[in-house]
A and B are shown apart, each in its own frame.
Chain A
Amino acid sequence: MFDSSSIVVGLEIGTSKVCVIVGEVNGESAPSIIGVARLKSRGVRKGEIIDPRAVEEDVRTVISDVENQTKVEINSVYLGVSGSHIRGFNNRGMHPVVSADREISHEDVADVVKNAKAINLPQEHTVLHAIRQDFFVDGQNGVKRPVGMLGARLEVDVHVVHGHLNRLQNAVRVVRGMQLEVEEVVFNGLASSLAVLTPMQKNLGSLLIDLGAGTTNYVVYERGVVRHTGVLAVGGDHVTNDLAYGLKVPQGRAEQLKIDHGHALMAAMDEDLNVEIKNDLGLPMNRINLNHLRRIMSLRLEETFELIAQDVAQKGLLEYLRAGVVLTGGGSRSRGITQLAEQVFGLPVTVGRITGVSSLKSSIDEPEFATGVGLIYFGSLKSRREQQHSSLFSTIKHALGKLLPR
Chain B
Amino acid sequence: MEVQAEKTSGAVNPDATVRVKIIGVGTAGAMMVKALPSEFAPASLAFVNTDASIPVGPQPQLLLTSQPLRGLGTGGDPELGRQLAEERYADLQAICAQAEVVFLLAGLGGGAGSGVTPVLARAAKESGALVLAFVTLPFVCEGNRRQLQAQQALAELNGECDAAVCLANQKVLPLLNARATVVESFQAGAQLLIEAVRGAWRLLQRSGLVQLCFQDLCAVLRENHEASCFATVEARGDARGQMVLEKIFAHPLLAGGEAFNGATSVLVSIVGGPDLTMAEVDELMRKISERCIGTRILMGATIDPAFQDRLSVTVFVACAAKLKRVAGGGADGQREAPVATQLHVELLNSEDTPRLESRLEPAAALTADQRAAILTKHVGKSGRVRKRVASPRMKQTTLPLDLVSKGRFDKSEPTIYKGEDLDLPTYVRRGISLN
Closest residue on chain A to residue B432 by CB atoms: A299
B422 interface hit (Cβ, 8 Å): yes
Residues of A within 8 Å of B426, CB to CB, are 242, 296, 299-300, 302-303
Complex Cα spacing A143 to B423, Å: 44
B406 interface hit (Cβ, 8 Å): yes
* CB-based contact A245/B434 at 8 Å: no
Query: A250 to chain B: closest CB distance in Å?
Result: 10
If the complex has contacts A45-B412, A50-B412, are A233 and B406 also in contact, measured as CB distance less than 8 A? no
Closest residue on chain A to residue B405 by CB atoms: A245
In the complex, which of the residues B405, B406, B415, B428 contacts A84, with contact meaning CB atoms closer than 8 Å? B415
A246 interface hit (Cβ, 8 Å): yes
In the complex, which of the residues B407, B423, B430, B434 contacts A251, with contact meaning CB atoms closer than 8 Å? B407
Q: For residues 399 through 435 of chain B, which have their beta carbon under 8 Å from a beta carbon of chain A?
A: 404-409, 412-413, 415, 417, 422-423, 425-428, 430, 432, 434
Query: A277 to chain B: closest CB distance in Å?
Result: 17
If the complex has contacts A237-B408, A299-B432, are A245 and B425 also in contact, measured as CB distance less than 8 A? yes
* CB-based contact A238/B430 at 8 Å: no
A166-202 vs B, Cβ < 8 Å mask (1 yes, 0 no): 0000000000000000000000000000000000000
Complex Cα spacing A251 to B406, Å: 12
Query: B318 to chain A: closest CB distance in Å?
Result: 36
If the complex has contacts A245-B405, A296-B427, A299-B426, are A233 and B415 also in contact, measured as CB distance less than 8 A? yes
Residues of A within 8 Å of B430, CB to CB, are 299
A223 interface hit (Cβ, 8 Å): no
Residues of B within 8 Å of A237, CB to CB, are 408-409
* CB-based contact A241/B407 at 8 Å: yes
B181-203 vs A, Cβ < 8 Å mask (1 yes, 0 no): 00000000000000000000000
Closest residue on chain B to residue A306 by CB atoms: B426
Q: For residues 93 through 118 of chain A, which have their beta carbon under 8 Å from a beta carbon of chain B?
A: none
If the complex has contacts A245-B405, A251-B407, are A300 and B425 also in contact, measured as CB distance less than 8 A? yes
A295 interface hit (Cβ, 8 Å): yes
A321 interface hit (Cβ, 8 Å): no
Complex Cα spacing A243 to B31, Å: 63
Residues of A within 8 Å of B427, CB to CB, are 242, 246, 295-296, 299-300
A161 interface hit (Cβ, 8 Å): no
Complex Cα spacing A245 to B425, Å: 8
Residues of B within 8 Å of A238, CB to CB, are 409, 422-423
A17 interface hit (Cβ, 8 Å): no
If the complex has contacts A232-B417, A234-B415, A295-B434, are A251 and B408 also in contact, measured as CB distance less than 8 A? yes
Q: For residues 378 through 415 of chain B, which have their beta carbon under 8 Å from a beta carbon of chain A?
A: 404-409, 412-413, 415
A292 interface hit (Cβ, 8 Å): yes
Q: Which of B408, B412, B415, B426 has the most chain A CB atoms closer than 10 A to its own CB?
A: B426
Closest residue on chain A to residue B406 by CB atoms: A241
A147 interface hit (Cβ, 8 Å): no
* CB-based contact A244/B422 at 8 Å: no
Number of interface residues of B (CB under 8 A): 19
* CB-based contact B408/A296 at 8 Å: no
Q: For residues 305 through 340 of chain B, which have their beta carbon under 8 Å from a beta carbon of chain A?
A: none
Residues of B within 8 Å of A292, CB to CB, are 434
Query: B384 to chain A: closest CB distance in Å?
Result: 42
In the complex, which of the residues A50, A233, A296 contacts B422, with contact meaning CB atoms closer than 8 Å? A233
Complex Cα spacing A232 to B428, Å: 19
A87 interface hit (Cβ, 8 Å): no
Query: A47 to chain B: closest CB distance in Å?
Result: 11
Residues of B within 8 Å of A275, CB to CB, are none
Query: B247 to chain A: closest CB distance in Å?
Result: 32
A258 interface hit (Cβ, 8 Å): no
Residues of B within 8 Å of A289, CB to CB, are 434
In the complex, which of the residues B409, B413, B432, B434 contacts A241, with contact meaning CB atoms closer than 8 Å? B409
Residues of B within 8 Å of A296, CB to CB, are 425-427, 434
Complex Cα spacing A295 to B425, Å: 11
Complex Cα spacing A300 to B420, Å: 13
Complex Cα spacing A45 to B408, Å: 9
Query: A240 to chain B: closest CB distance in Å?
Result: 8
Query: B160 to chain A: closest CB distance in Å?
Result: 51
A259 interface hit (Cβ, 8 Å): no
Residues of B within 8 Å of A246, CB to CB, are 425, 427-428, 434
Complex Cα spacing A246 to B424, Å: 11
Query: B223 to chain A: closest CB distance in Å?
Result: 41
Closest residue on chain A to residue B422 by CB atoms: A234
Closest residue on chain B to residue A85 by CB atoms: B413
Complex Cα spacing A295 to B428, Å: 11
Residues of B within 8 Å of A162, CB to CB, are none
Query: B411 to chain A: closest CB distance in Å?
Result: 9
Residues of B within 8 Å of A303, CB to CB, are 422, 426
Complex Cα spacing A303 to B417, Å: 12
Query: A71 to chain B: closest CB distance in Å?
Result: 38
Query: B21 to chain A: closest CB distance in Å?
Result: 59
Closest residue on chain A to residue B407 by CB atoms: A241
Q: For residues 293 through 348 of chain A, which have their beta carbon under 8 Å from a beta carbon of chain B?
A: 295-296, 299-300, 302-303, 307
A46 interface hit (Cβ, 8 Å): yes
A28-53 vs B, Cβ < 8 Å mask (1 yes, 0 no): 00000000000000000110001000
Complex Cα spacing A238 to B417, Å: 14
* CB-based contact A45/B409 at 8 Å: yes
Closest residue on chain A to residue B417 by CB atoms: A307
Query: B414 to chain A: closest CB distance in Å?
Result: 9
Residues of A within 8 Å of B423, CB to CB, are 238, 241
B284-308 vs A, Cβ < 8 Å mask (1 yes, 0 no): 0000000000000000000000000
In the complex, which of the residues B407, B413, B422 contacts A245, with contact meaning CB atoms closer than 8 Å? B407
Closest residue on chain B to residue A289 by CB atoms: B434
Residues of B within 8 Å of A232, CB to CB, are 415, 417, 422
Complex Cα spacing A360 to B179, Å: 70
A53-76 vs B, Cβ < 8 Å mask (1 yes, 0 no): 000000000000000000000000
* CB-based contact A245/B404 at 8 Å: yes
Q: Which of A84, A241, A289, A307 has the most chain B CB atoms closer than 10 A to its own CB?
A: A241
Complex Cα spacing A241 to B407, Å: 6
If the complex has contacts A233-B422, A242-B425, are A46 and B415 also in contact, measured as CB distance less than 8 A? yes
Residues of B within 8 Å of A241, CB to CB, are 406-409, 423, 425
- 30 A-B residue pairs with Cβ-Cβ distance under 8 Å, sorted by A, are A45-B408, A46-B409, A46-B412, A84-B415, A232-B417, A233-B415, A233-B422, A234-B422, A237-B408, A237-B409, A238-B422, A241-B408, A242-B427, A245-B405, A245-B407, A245-B425, A245-B428, A246-B425, A246-B427, A251-B408, A295-B432, A295-B434, A296-B425, A296-B434, A299-B425, A299-B426, A299-B427, A299-B430, A300-B425, A303-B422
Known: A233-B422, A246-B428, A246-B434. 19 other contacts (CB 8 A): A45-B408, A45-B412, A46-B412, A50-B412, A84-B415, A241-B407, A241-B409, A241-B423, A245-B407, A245-B428, A246-B425, A289-B434, A295-B432, A295-B434, A296-B426, A299-B425, A299-B426, A300-B426, A300-B427
- What 7 A-B pairs are tightest by C-beta distance, nearest first? A242-B425, A299-B426, A241-B407, A233-B415, A300-B426, A303-B426, A292-B434
Interface residues of A (CB under 8 A from B): 45-46, 50, 84, 232-234, 237-238, 241-242, 244-246, 251, 289, 292, 295-296, 299-300, 302-303, 307
